[in-house]
Amino acid sequence: MNAVRMLRESFARLINKERVQARMIYTWQAGRPVSPTDDYVAFAKDGYQRNPLIAACIREIATSASEPTLKVKRRMKDGTLEEARGSDADALRDLLQHPNPEQSTYTFLEELFTFQQLTGNWFFRKIRSVGGSNVVALWPLKPQHTKIVPGADGWVLGYRYIGVRELIPVDDVVHDPLQPDPLNDFWGLSPLASLRRAIDVGNLSFDFLRAYFTNNATPAGILKLKGRVETADRERIKEMWTKEHVGEQGWHSISVLDADAEYEEIGTNLEKLRLQVVWDQIESAICSVLGVPPILVGAVVGLNRSTFSNYAEARRSFWEETLITLYKRCAQRFTKGLASEFASDLVIEFDLTTVSALQEQREVQRKFAIDGWMAGLLTLDQALDHIGLPRVGGAEGSTRKQAAPVSSGLAGLLSQPPGPREQHTHTRTGDERRALRRFKRVASAHFKAQGDAVQNLTSRGLGNTTVRSSVDRGLLDSRQRAEGDVDEAMKQTR
């Protein structure tokens, strides 16, 4: 933020006149820490530590931070962004690469994303130089140890953190809630909040399965004895039966019953429970809420309905529908809460051109830009914008390339006006009829080649860039041969 805005907000905090009422809170809440709605410790224990699918989904999101790179750019007067240069940009870039003595950029972002997917919030504190205002380090704060302190006007006054006696100023903490909580004005809503019942059912089903195998993998039953059995004898028989058949030591053990004894099964058989159907529904719910395609985390519901060719499509969909939005909002929070400390025109962005799953999309954009430039539909600067390269600017950047001419045979066909069919009285000669038949064969061969290429592309995997390139070359060769044959056919009809 600029100096004028900082002065205005600081002055407003002192006199409390220029600041509007941000949130409606009770008077007794002012200055008191506000706790989150959910129990984050329970989410960590029951969800992240006990449920393997939730742990896999959160890890899949958090470890994606290894692919994009953080870029520091400067917003120019015309609104465009360029690679930032200067001492302020170098200082910010060095801080992002080394946020603190213990973490790198990747581990710092991985921890933030793990906290956010688990609790719906991430925080990091800006450590300033001694006796100065320069930010020299960034430390992530655990949400379960953080408290938000509101002021009387509803704005955040500061933060309380376990082990820190004084109130941390609001300007020293950057907070990003994942999604709004309708029951809490200050904290974000955890994705696991809507998965409580699914998590409980999943954990209980695994506990039941564990108990089933612990109990010699046999259901409960009744041991019937003829005649009256005294209480002491009943307890002794139960203890002896349990000792012989419960636990690992009782697996595959053999029981011998008297003629007057009979064992009757009363427990539920696993086949009747159909646990796989239950687990499929739980897996679908977890993956949909966290935004992770099931095939990427090895969920059975995804593996049963996917092939290897779908894996690349699933990873691209994961980036386009979940991660791109996540990184954009993260970059905006970094820009507002951190880049403004160094200069008001600095912008932090994630460079997604290094993401392997988006290379095919980038190739499509590159081809669109080149074709648009070659056809004269885009200026040079517009084409460079689509590719993500810096503009040339000036008169050269505003130029358009003249479109390439169409082949003579096709141009003649396109330039001839379609006259009424009843006015055509010319009787074709034998050479003309043969030329037209040749033209039909050429066109049929051309379209068949296109269909075979598309079918080959589909069968071998749409995500394979090498296959796409080879098919594109084959289509181009087929098209060029067809145009040449059409030209020759049209010459023979003249």
In this prediction, residue 139 carries a pLDDT of: 96
What phi and psi, each to the nearest 5 degrees, are found at residue 428?
A: -70, 145
Among the ranges given (26-40, 60-74, 281-295, 410-424), the one the predictor scored with the smallest mean pLDDT:
410-424
From residue 79, give the alpha-carbon distance in Å to each of 74, 225, 345, 347. 9, 89, 10, 12
| Residue 192 to residue 198: CA distance in whole angstroms | 9
Query: Residue 96's closest CA among 335, 352, 327?
Result: 335
Confidence of residue 239 (pLDDT cuts 50, 70, 90): confident
| Residue 432 to residue 406: CA distance in whole angstroms | 24
| Residue 115 to residue 229: CA distance in whole angstroms | 59
Q: What is the DSSP string of 344-409?
A: TTEEEEEEGGG-GGGHHHHHHHHHHHHHHHHTTSSBHHHHHHHHTPPP--HHHHT-BPPPPPPPHH
Two structure tokens written together for 391: 């503009």
Confidence of residue 424 (pLDDT cuts 50, 70, 90): very low
Element (H, E) at 471: helix 465-493
Among the ranges given (378-382, 386-390, 414-418), the one the predictor scored with the smallest mean pLDDT:
414-418
Kindly tell me if the per-residue pLDDT of 450 is higher than 60.
no
Kindly tell me if the per-residue pLDDT of 9 is higher than 90.
no
Helix axis angle for 465-493 and 359-374, nearest 10°, is 30
CA dihedral over 81, 85, 87, 89, signed as positive or negative: positive
Two structure tokens written together for 374: 């070659």
Q: Which residues contact 402 (CB under 8 A, 6 or more apart)?
A: 376
Kindly tell me if the per-residue pLDDT of 13 is higher than 70.
no
Look up the pTM and report it.
0.65
The upper half-sphere exposure of residue 171, i.e. CA atoms within 13 Å in the direction of its Cβ, equals 12
pLDDT in tens, 298-339: 888 777 766 656 888 888 889 999 999 999 999 999 999 999
| Residue 349 to residue 330: CA distance in whole angstroms | 9
Coil, strand or helix at 60? helix
Strand partners, 349: 71
pLDDT in tens, 337-383: 999 999 999 999 999 888 888 887 777 777 888 887 777 778 887 87
In this prediction, residue 369 carries a pLDDT of: 80
DSSP 8-class letter at 426: P
Q: Which residues contact 490 (CB under 8 A, 6 or more apart)?
A: 409, 412, 413, 435, 439
**How many C-beta atoms surround the C-beta of residue 65 within 10 A?**
23
**How many C-beta atoms surround the C-beta of residue 343 within 10 A?**
19
| Residue 483 to residue 477: CA distance in whole angstroms | 10
| Residue 110 to residue 108: CA distance in whole angstroms | 5
| Residue 135 to residue 91: CA distance in whole angstroms | 9
| Residue 87 to residue 45: CA distance in whole angstroms | 45
Q: In degrees to the nearest 10, what's the CA dihedral of 60, 64, 65, 71?
A: -160
Mean pLDDT for the chain? 76
Query: Residue 190's closest CA among 54, 324, 90?
Result: 54
CA dihedral over 377, 382, 386, 389, signed as positive or negative: positive
